[in-house]
Each structure stands twice: as C-alpha cells, then as structure tokens.
C-alpha cells in the first residue's frame, strides 16, 4: 500500500536530522507487552524515531489455545463451553454464530421463542462487553471515573444475565437447537426496569466522558482510518462504522428475528479515534431499543429449543454463518464429513481482522497517541489468538 | 442523521450470485467448478494457476473488496489441502449479505499457493496463520512467518490431520 510508505517517510522527515548518525542508531526499539498493563495479553514491537513511531510489528499468540483444533475432537455440544473462552464477556455472541452454523449443517430451525431469548441474551452480552471495553478505554486515557462507572453499571446487566442463564460471565447459553433454558419468572419486567435505568446512566457518560475537552483533544483527529483504507484492510464492526461505512450484519444479513426489529445502524464519518470510541457507545443505546422491542414481541409461551441427540450428525457439507458481535462480524466456517464431530472449524473473529489496522494507524503517529489508537480498535487479544 | 442504508440490501443478491457464477463459467468454462450455490453463499473451485486471475476478475467486475476469512482444510486421503477465501463486499450494495467462497486445491506434499495479498490486502494475517497452521507457503506473501504459535514450536503444523493432541 503506497500510503503506508508515504506515512513512514513523512514520519521520518518530521524528526529528521536531529542527530546525523546512521539510521539504526536513531531508532529505539520498544517492546509493548505482554506484561505491559496497556496492551492486554498481546505484544507489539515498535521502533520510534524521537517521538514518532516508524515501525510496528504486532506479535499476538500469547494466549493461543488452539480452539479450532480442539473442535475436531469433540461433538457439536461439547464445543460450546470451550468456544466461549476467547471472549468471556461476549460469550452469548461467540456461541451464537457457531450454533447458527451447526443448525444450518443439520438443517433445523430454532423455535420462535428460543430465537427471541437468544437475541435478548446476545444484546445484553453486547452491553456487558462494550461496558468492559469502555472502562478500559477510559482508564488508559487517564479518566478513572470512566473506569468506575461502566464497571459498576455493567453489574446491572450481569445480574440480568445471571438470572437468565445461571452464570455471571461464561453462560454456555446458546446451543445448537436453541437456548438451554427458558426465561425465569418475572424476567421480562426486571429486564425492562434495569435496561431503562441503564439507558439513563448511558446519557451521563456523554457529559462526563465524551464531552470532556481533554478526551476530545487526545482523540479527535488522531489515527485517521479513511473509508477507502478501512474497506481495503477489511476491518469490521465499530472500526468500520466509524470510518463511514454503515455495515452491520444484523441489518445487511438479518439472522433469526433481527429482520423484525426496527433499529438504525450507527456510524460516523470522522474516521478518527473519537469516532471509534463513540460508535460502540451509540451501539449500546441502540441495543437498549432492540431489547425493549424484543421483550415486547416475544411470544408468551412455546419451546425454546429443538431437542437434539448429543451425537447429532448432519450430512457432509459446509456452512459459513456470521453475526454482529461487540467487535464486529464473527463468523464460523464449519466443514462436516457426516460424523458427529466437525472436520474443520475456522473462526474468523473481529479482533483478528481489526489487528491489521494497528500497524497502519500507528506508523507515523506520536508515541503518546498509542493508547487512544490501540484501544479504539476494540481489540480483544484473547479472541484474536483463539 | 441519515442512518439508514441506501436501498434495501440483499434484495438482489440472489440474482447477482447467478450473474456472477454465469459469467465465471462463461469465462473459464471447464476450469471452474461450482461446488454449491445456496442463499447468500456460493462456492467455486478453481485451478491453482487461475486463482489470482479469478480474484482480480471478481474484484474489478463485481466489487468484492475484502476477505472475511481465509483458511485451509487438510484432506490427507486425497493428498490435498483446500484453500478457501471468503470474499465479501462493503461497496457494492447488492453484495452486502453475499459471501463468495473462492477455493483451490493444492498438493499436500508440496503445498504452495499464490498469495492474494496484492488483490485483497485484508488476507495478510489470515494467510500468515494458514502458513503456520497448515504449512502452506504463499508465493508473493512478504512474511511467511510464525504468528500465533510459540517461538520455539518444533512440531508439524498443528492443523494437519496427522497432528494429534496429547491424550486424545
């Protein structure tokens, strides 16, 4: 890509000829992570020339556990608990597309009430994940209130999910054929109250965080990922939508009941770190609307799952299903050879795809702009490593 | 705010898929095989030497602009490795829900395939992952190097079928 080279040259020129030494002596190599608290379980090697980053080499893999290989040894149901480990905060979403792919292979449809409960769980999980991400984003920009508030408000939704699924974070709730159990007594009313309260809290984030002049100075105009570059790099989710592409899987390829739900695809055209931080926030507000509609439209009674044998088999074939998770498109490509185990499972996750934008954005920017850029990419190292 | 996507997406995707497959068959006739054509998903199998050419054709004529995923599947019985590129489009409104699987089969004993990195830059890390997981060397890829596995990994590529997890 020519623009990348141009950016490198530009960065070099900016701090040129301060010391007239050889090129290598001028550069300092820094290893960010995996112990660095600002990077998660992830390391990237950067070279700086003065204050400018001229080289970035991401080195993921510190939490690689081979989930794709593990899937080849277990039947379709046994895969659920380990497949949600890559993103425990978004576990209903990461098992959602897996379940859809298996259902497509076997050729079954989930009962209508089950589809609604799935969508509710998945939207609640999106809130939990985004709150967690927002908390980290806040603390790495030095805004400790923005760490405390989302971390506290996240508990509201975790309580709801605990009532619904029985677990606080790793739910193992979505399974091929539907969901594990029905909604508990009085869940609808409880959910409505909590979500309404939560939405009020979200409005306050705007005052304390997004309108904060310090945050705006640090993020606006930083890390520009233009629409053309975003498309070329194939980024997804909030990173893509912050670059002006209104692409949301729930809208473009509605799965389950999403075609009956009325919602907007939130996107921004400023393409900077601020947009990438603001779009997930807008998504959370949109999620609250979606949850209310889902609760309104859910059938009063009915089955929540299609009962399947534990060693259920499908015809040989393959399936590719995707959903919109907290970090973007999350897709599974599953190849079956007709046995009760998958022949090959490939997870294509949002974090892994968005990682490509990291070197592109960091090269040419200042070292101080690293945290706002890195965390705005909505990158979850464990998910990318799988 | 104009938050709605222009025109209703996906309405024409079924016709588009027929259109794409038809024109591909016309262009390459016997060199291309349609594996399946389902709703919003189609899979085509091309010869390894036609892979780059087909990818350029798809990009220039239909606006496929990124790869959702690129992966490999090992078939020791046929002595083959299948490479799959899941191509999608952000810019062509009709293709938003559509995924075209562009695949090719290469020899397992000498696994080399042409890289699509110059056509779809988004395959960079996916191809690098396929290199270390299945041992497929991508010709033209700048870094056929270790990515996710440990630095001291000294075994066969783990997604090959003869690699067994200990205790299983």
Please name which of B112, B142, B67 lies closest in space to residue A352, comparing C-alpha atoms: B67
Mean pLDDT calculated for residue range A207-214: 88
Residues 107-136 of B with CB under 8 A from A: 120-126, 133
* Confidence (pLDDT) at B1: 38
* Confidence (pLDDT) at B15: 63
Q: How far is A66 from chain B (nearest CA, A)?
A: 9
Say which range, A17-31, A170-184, A195-209, A237-251, has the weakest mean pLDDT.
A17-31
The pLDDT tens digits of the residues spanning A161-189 come to 999 988 888 888 888 888 988 888 888 89
pLDDT of residue A37 exceeding 80, the answer is no
Output the six-digit token pair for B83: 């490479």
* Confidence (pLDDT) at A197: 92
Rounded to an integer, what distance in angstroms lies between the CA atom of residue A324 and that of residue A237? 7
Q: How many domains does chain A have?
A: 1
CATH of B13-139, one of 3.40.50.300, 3.30.460.30, 3.30.460.80, 3.30.360.10: 3.30.460.80
Output the six-digit token pair for B167: 């205790």
Cα→Cα distances A55→A5, A10, A219, B59, Å: 11, 13, 21, 30
Residues of A in contact with B164 (CB under 8 A): none
Residues of B in contact with A251 (CB under 8 A): 5, 9
Note whether residue A105 is domain-resident.
Answer: yes
DSSP string computed for A222-240: SS---HHHHHHHT--THHH
Q: How far is A60 from chain B (nearest CA, A)?
A: 6
Per-residue pLDDT of chain B (168 residues; tens, 9 = 90+): 344 444 444 455 556 677 777 777 777 777 788 888 888 888 888 888 888 888 898 888 888 889 988 999 999 998 999 999 999 888 888 888 888 899 999 998 888 889 989 999 999 899 999 999 898 999 988 888 888 888 888 888 888 888 888 776
Mean pLDDT calculated for residue range A43-58: 88
* Confidence (pLDDT) at B28: 77
pLDDT of residue A51 exceeding 50, the answer is yes
Cβ distance A252 to B90 less than 8 Å, yes or no, reads no
Cβ distance A247 to B74 less than 8 Å, yes or no, reads no
Output the six-digit token pair for B134: 């299945």
Select from B121, B132, B167 the residue whose CB has the most chain A CBs within 10 Å, as the one to mutate to test that interface.
B121
* Confidence (pLDDT) at A24: 66
Mean pLDDT calculated for residue range A32-40: 75
* Confidence (pLDDT) at B12: 53
pLDDT of residue A327 exceeding 50, the answer is yes
Helix H or strand E encompassing A135: helix A112-140
Mean pLDDT rounded to a whole number for chain A: 87
Output the six-digit token pair for A320: 């590719």
Mean pLDDT calculated for residue range A150-169: 90
Say which range, A128-142, A277-291, B29-43, B120-134, has the weakest mean pLDDT.
B29-43
User: Cβ neighbours of residue A35 under 8 Å, at least 6 residues apart?
Assistant: none
Note whether residue A33 is domain-resident.
Answer: no
Cβ distance A69 to B159 less than 8 Å, yes or no, reads yes
* Confidence (pLDDT) at B13: 54
Tokens 């979500």 identify what position? A195
Q: What residue numbers bound the domain in which A78 lies?
A: 68-353
pLDDT band at A8 (very low <50, low <70, confident <90, very high): confident
Note whether residue A243 is domain-resident.
Answer: yes
Residues of A in contact with B74 (CB under 8 A): 344
* Confidence (pLDDT) at A334: 92
Rounded to an integer, what distance in angstroms lies between the CA atom of residue B161 and that of residue B142? 27
CATH number at residue A199: 1.10.645.10
- Scanning every residue of chain B, which has its alpha carbon at the shortest distance from the alpha carbon of A336? B73
CB A361 within 8 A of CB A324: no
pLDDT of residue A273 exceeding 50, the answer is yes
Please name which of B81, B64, B122, B79 lies closest in space to residue A350, comparing C-alpha atoms: B122
Select from A101, A249, A253 the residue whose CB has the most chain B CBs within 10 Å, as the one to mutate to test that interface.
A253
Note whether residue A383 is domain-resident.
Answer: no
Omega before residue A34 within 30° of 0, cis: yes
Note whether residue A74 is domain-resident.
Answer: yes
Mean pLDDT calculated for residue range A116-139: 91
Cβ distance A252 to B96 less than 8 Å, yes or no, reads yes
Cβ distance A265 to B69 less than 8 Å, yes or no, reads no
Q: For B10, which of A253, A264, A322 is closest by C-beta distance?
A: A253
Note whether residue A377 is domain-resident.
Answer: no
Cβ distance B165 to A253 less than 8 Å, yes or no, reads no
């Amino acid at each position: 890509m020519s623009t990348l080279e141009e950016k490198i040259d530009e960065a070099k020129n900016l701090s040129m000829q301060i010391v007239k030494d050889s090129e290598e002596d001028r550069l300092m190599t820094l290893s960010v992570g995996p112990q660095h608290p600002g990077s998660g379980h992830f390391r990237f090697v950067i070279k700086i020339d003065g204050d400018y980053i001229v080289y970035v080499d991401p080195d993921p893999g510190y939490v690689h556990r081979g989930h794709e290989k593990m899937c080849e040894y277990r039947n379709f149901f046994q895969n659920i608990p380990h497949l949600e480990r890559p993103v425990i905060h978004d576990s209903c979403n990461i098992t959602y597309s897996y379940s859809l792919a298996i259902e497509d292979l076997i050729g079954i449809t989930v009962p209508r009430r089950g589809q609604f409960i799935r969508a509710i769980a998945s939207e609640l999980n999106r809130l939990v994940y985004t709150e967690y991400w927002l908390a980290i984003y806040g603390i790495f920009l030095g805004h400790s209130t923005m760490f405390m508030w989302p971390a506290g408000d996240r508990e509201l939704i975790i309580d709801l999910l605990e009532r619904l699924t029985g677990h606080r974070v790793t739910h193992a709730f979505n399974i091929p054929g539907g969901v594990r159990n029905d909604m508990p007594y009085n869940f609808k009313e409880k959910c409505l109250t909590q979500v309404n309260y939560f939405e009020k809290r979200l409005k306050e984030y705007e005052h304390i965080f997004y309108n904060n002049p310090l945050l705006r100075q640090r993020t606006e105009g930083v890390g520009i990922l233009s629409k053309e570059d975003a498309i070329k790099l194939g980024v997804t989710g909030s990173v893509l939508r912050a670059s002006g592409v209104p692409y949301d899987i729930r809208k473009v390829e509605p799965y389950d009941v999403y075609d009956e739900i009325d919602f907007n695809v939130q996107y921004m055209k400023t393409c900077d770190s601020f947009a990438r931080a603001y779009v997930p926030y807008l998504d959370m507000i949109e999620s609250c609307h979606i949850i209310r509609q889902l609760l309104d439209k859910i059938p009063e009674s009915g089955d929540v799952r299609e009962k399947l044998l534990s060693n259920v088999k499908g015809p040989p074939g393959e399936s590719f299903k995707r959903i919109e998770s907290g970090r973007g498109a999350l897709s599974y490509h599953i190849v079956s050879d007709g046995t009760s185990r998958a022949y090959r499972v490939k997870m294509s996750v949002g974090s892994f795809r968005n990682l490509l934008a990291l070197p592109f954005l960091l090269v040419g920017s200042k070292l101080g702009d690293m945290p706002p850029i890195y965390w705005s990419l909505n990158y979850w190292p464990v998910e990318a490593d799988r | 705010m104009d938050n709605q996507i222009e025109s209703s997406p996906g309405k024409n995707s079924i016709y588009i898929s027929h259109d794409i497959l038809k024109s591909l068959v016309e262009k390459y006739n016997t060199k291309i095989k349609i594996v399946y054509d389902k709703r919003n998903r189609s899979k085509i199998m091309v010869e390894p030497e036609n892979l780059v050419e087909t990818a350029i054709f798809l990009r220039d004529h239909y606006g496929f602009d990124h790869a959702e995923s690129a992966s490999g599947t090992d078939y020791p019985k046929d002595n083959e490795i299948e490479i799959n590129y899941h191509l999608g489009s952000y810019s062509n409104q009709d293709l938003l829900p559509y995924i075209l699987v562009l695949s090719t089969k290469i020899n397992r004993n000498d696994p080399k395939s042409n890289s699509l990195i110059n056509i779809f830059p988004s395959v960079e890390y996916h191809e690098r992952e396929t290199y270390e997981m299945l041992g497929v060397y991508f010709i033209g890829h700048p870094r056929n190097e270790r990515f996710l596995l440990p630095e001291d990994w000294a075994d066969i590529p783990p997604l090959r079928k003869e690699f067994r997890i200990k205790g299983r």
